[in-house]
Amino acid sequence: MDEKKNSLLIVDDENANLKVLTHMLGSDYTIYTATNGLNAIEKAKELVPDLIMLDILMPEMDGYATLAEIKACKEIQKIPVIFISGLDSDEDEEKGLSFEAADYITKPFSAPIVKLRVRNQIQIVNQMRTIERLGRIDQLTNIPNRRSFDERLQMEWKQAVREQTPISLLIMDLDHFKNSNDTYGHQTGDVILQTVAGTFSQSFKRPGDFAARWGGEEFVVLLPNTPLDGALEVAEKIRSDIENTSISAIDGSKIRVTISVGVNSFVPGKDDSIDTFISNADKALYSAKETGRNKVVHN
C-alpha cells in the first residue's frame, strides 16, 4: 500500500497559476485549490492540509488578510503558509514574512525552487508530527504514555458527563516485579513490561478502548461507555491472558508473571472529580494487592 501523500492547498485567483503549480507538485502531493481568500479558509477548515500556498494579490480579500484570518482560527492556525507573489522586491518579501508566512516564492515560478521550498516545509511538518507522536508514546513498551492517557481521559470524561454514559478505569500493577528484576535482571524486566503491554490489544473488544503505561510497572486501561460488568470482563481477560503468557528471560528460561487489577466504573456528573475517579480505582488495586494479588477487585 502506498504511503499517504502530504497535502497542499494552493490559493490563487489565476487559473493558469493553479495549473502550473498543480503540474509541478501533483505527482508528490495531494493538491487542493481555491481561487479566493474566503474559499481558501473554508477549504482549510474542511480539509486541514499540511501546507497552504497563498497568493498575495487577490480581489476582495488579499493574501495578507487571508493569512491573518488563518492565524486567528484555532483549528488551522498552525498550518504553515508560503506566500506566492509577483511582488519580488526585498521589501515585499520582508513584509510577507513579517505576517508569519513560513516562506515566500516569487513569480514567474522556477520549478526546482518551488519543489525545494515546498519539500523543506513539508519535512518540517512531518518532523514536528513525529516529535509530537513520540512525546505521547512510552519508548520501552511502544504504547501511549501517561501524558497521552491524561489527554484521552479528559476527552472521554467530558463526553461521559455530556451524554451521561458510564466510563470505566482499570489500574494494574505487576505482582512482585522487583523480585523478577532482581532474579532475572533489568533486561528481562524490560521484556516482561513489553510483553504485558502487547497483551492489551488482544483483550480489547472495541477500538475505543485505550491502554497506557502509567509508570514503572503500572498500566491503565480506559473503557469509554462501559458499565461495571463489561469492565470486569475486560479486566479478567487481561489478568488471565497475562497469567497464561510464557515469557522468555534473557538466560533462556521461561517465566510467568501475574498482575493485580483495580476497577472503577462510574457515570460522572458535572460536579464529579476525575481525581476521585482515579483514586477509587487505585484503592481497588491496593485491595487486590492486600488480599492475595493476581486478582481483579472493583470499587
3 state DSSP class of 149: helix
Q: How far apart are CA 118 and CA 180, in angstroms?
A: 52
Which of 66, 7, 18 lies closest to 41, judged by CA? 66
Query: Do residues 17 and 55 lie in contact, with contact meaning Cβ atoms separated by under 8 Å?
Result: yes
C-alpha cell at 166: 458510564
How far is it, in rounded angstroms, from Cα 85 to Cα 98? Answer: 15
Considering 42, 163, 217, 218, which one is annotated as catalytic? 217
Q: Rounded to 10 degrees, what is the CA torsion of 221, 222, 226, 230?
A: 0
CB 278 within 8 A of CB 222: no
How far from 163 is each of 41, 159, 269, CA to CA, in Å? 32, 6, 10
Whether 151 is a known active-site residue: answer: no
Secondary structure of residue 33 in the 3-state scheme: strand
Beta bridge partners of 81: 52
R_g (Cα) of the chain, nearest Å: 26
Partnered with residue 298 across adjacent β-strands are 263
Q: Which residues are catalytic?
A: 217
